[in-house]
Amino acid sequence: MKRYLTIIIIIILFASESHAQDALAKLEYQDAETAYQNDNYSKALEHLEATKKLLGSTNATIMYLEISAKDKLLNTNNTSSYTHESLKQLCNDNNFSLITFYFDVTKSIYPAVGGINETQYVEFIIKAGNQSGMSNINKEELMYQALTEAATEVKTSADTHIKKIIEKHNLKRSTNNSSEIDLIEKLVSLDKLSKKYLKNFQNTAPLDKTKVVYEIQQKLQPRVIESDAIIQGLKAIKAKQYTNAIILLEKACKAGNEFGCMKREEAYLWDQITNHKDEIIQNLVNNMVLVEGGTFVMGMERYDNDNKTPHSVTLTDFYINKYEVTRLEWMAVMEEVETDGNNKCYDCPKVSSRYEILTFIDKLNEKTGRSFILPTEAQWEFAATGGNESEGFEFAGSNNKEEVYVIMYLNGKGITSVGSKKPNELGLYDMNGNVNDMCLDFYDGDFYKKSKNSINPICNQIKNWDKKKYELDSKGYIKGVDKTLYGKFKFSIRGTTKSKVRLKTEEAIKSVIGFRLAENQ
């Protein structure tokens, strides 16, 4: 009898403990739901793990919330390596109408104000985000679009602008391959969890929840194709085994994994600028062409007021490059990879801002021991019109526009590989068409009147919008001016119209200012 009494007491104790465990599990689950509703998905997952531990198992309700939280945290709509918590520092709810409003307003005022600088636009976005919110990570595309528009002189890489946000606001961005591997592994884990839910509960769980999980699982499918190959490819990139990385990532790409395609391109570019860097830079240097000095008439009578002062100019010998600097050449010199969506034209001209162009030239000079510089406006026009070999063509190398002119459209589309058309008399390509070329000079509408009969003229001094006098140093930097303020200045650009037509940076279509190297004798 005593033995039976002991067994009954033990059963009661176990039942009480089990009931207590169930109660604690319910509290943990409620905390998980609250955290999820507050967009704190990491905390929700912590509570769900505690719930499963207390119960010693899982069920359809717990698994559904776990799948939903992981989906929100990873955002299966985007294989971005940004953490959800990072973007939450910008915004805090799902209504992003004000983001769109600020974006549209900024675009509309852009021409009128001569372009706000990058920092100002970042502040615009931060302000809008804090007021309206953008908690869902799939709004990152809007950030990229808006920040790309923020460039004041030209489009620079959207990634450059994102970096400015990260640095200024101490955001966490996971850009290394280890973090990308972790991301892929989590996507695979979520894929497995979703499949398990559908296998075990699709006939018993509520239809609406089954549908949500099914849709998540379907979105995951293209992102987990050949996931093992992607993980091994990322590890190969980290180990600088680029040939092996390309093979592995190509396998994933051919199977339909877009992330694999993107990383394959990255591996290819790292291979180029690591293992073929010297060859790329040497080829760039070897394309310099000697332009023998001479006297010519700069400007033309029939055009706007800034061009209507034809005047005699004399230049000494100088060198200029056959081609505009390409994207691949830029990467080789800067030793960093820049990908641009589906744009795989690495021998297309690199478009960039004034300050970044000058930084590139500094780095190139360090690597080569040369003294490259931007061409002056006079040097550019003399070279474009054929120098001493000029045949008086209307365009650079021909009277037939189609022979020498790459048409670039208003949205920047149409930019193509350098050297795709006929060269001019000096063997120079794309002096008209494709992108504009940045010149060394400030832009001054009256400079032609001031430089009659001059030798090697350059507009290196100007009074700007604030009525103060500014001066360029020998490299083309503005003395005493921070790089973030360069967008407030006008510089000479040439190239997308006729050889003798002047343009200034604020007249340029965004994303279409490139450059070519010059070097004085």
CA–CA separation, 241 vs 318, rounded Å? Answer: 42
Cα 58 from chain centroid (whole Å): 43
Q: pLDDT exceeding 70 applies to what percent of the chain?
A: 71
Domain boundary among 36, 56, 79: 79
- Is 392 a residue whose pLDDT tops 80? yes
**Residue 441 CA: distances (Å) to CA of 2, 176, 363, 388, 401:** 104, 40, 21, 23, 27
Enclosing domain of residue 111: 86-169
The tens digit of pLDDT for each residue in 263-291 reads 999 999 999 999 999 999 999 999 999 99
Per residue in 308-367, pLDDT (tens digit) is 678 899 999 999 999 999 999 999 999 998 876 667 889 999 988 888 899 999 999 999
pLDDT of residue 242: 96
Tell me whether residue 283 is in a domain: yes
Read off the pTM: 0.73
Q: Considering 118, 152, 169, which residue would you say is the last residue of a domain?
A: 169
Length of the chain: 521
**Residues 266 and 184 reside in one and the same domain:** yes
Q: How is 25-83 classified by DSSP, letter by letter? A: HHHHHHHHHHHHHTT-HHHHHHHHHHHHHHHTS--HHHHHHHHHHHHHHH-TT----B-
**Contact between residue 168 and residue 368 where contact means Cβ atoms under 8 Å apart:** no
Is 80 exceeded by the pLDDT of residue 172? no
Tell me, yes or no, whether 351 and 470 share the same domain: yes
**Residue at which a domain ends, from 227, 252, 274:** 274
For residues 300 and 221, membership in a common domain is answered with no
Q: Does any domain span residue 338?
A: yes
Residue 519 tokens, joined: 């070097």
Tally the domains of the chain: 4
Of 315-329, 462-476, 486-500, the range with the lowest mean pLDDT is 486-500
pLDDT digit string, tens, across residues 60-119? 999 999 999 999 888 643 433 333 333 333 333 333 333 344 444 444 433 333 344 444
Residue 182 within a domain: yes
If one compares 410 and 274, the residue with the highest pLDDT of the two is 274
- Residue 154 shares a structural domain with residue 247: no
What's the whole-number mean pLDDT along residues 177-200? Answer: 89
Average pLDDT of the chain, as a whole number: 78
The set of residues, in sequence order, having a beta carbon less than 8 Å from that of 257 and lying 6+ positions away, is: 222, 223, 224, 225, 226, 227, 230
> How many CB atoms are located within 10 Å of the residue 188 CB?
17
Flag whether 13 is in a domain.
no
Tokens standing for 19?
């009931």
Q: What is the pLDDT of residue 494?
A: 87
What does the alpha-carbon distance between residue 219 and residue 75 come to, in Å, rounded to a whole number?
Answer: 10
Span 38-47, mean pLDDT? 89
**What mean pLDDT do residues 431-435 have?**
88
Q: What is the model's pLDDT at position 304?
A: 56
pLDDT of residue 338: 83
Tokens representing 84 are 């959800």
Closest listed residue to residue 102, CA positions, set 141, 129, 136: 129
- pLDDT the model gives residue 25: 85
- Looking at residue 162, its pLDDT comes to 45
Residue 11 lies in a domain: no
- Assess whether pLDDT exceeds 80 at residue 56: yes
Q: Does 190 share its domain with 324?
A: no
Mean pLDDT of all residues in 36-48:
90
What does the alpha-carbon distance between residue 229 and residue 75 come to, in Å, rounded to a whole number? 22
Looking at residue 177, its pLDDT comes to 60
pLDDT category of residue 20 using cuts at 50, 70 and 90: low
Q: What is the largest CA-CA distance in the chain?
A: 124
Residue 455, classed as helix, strand or coil, is: strand
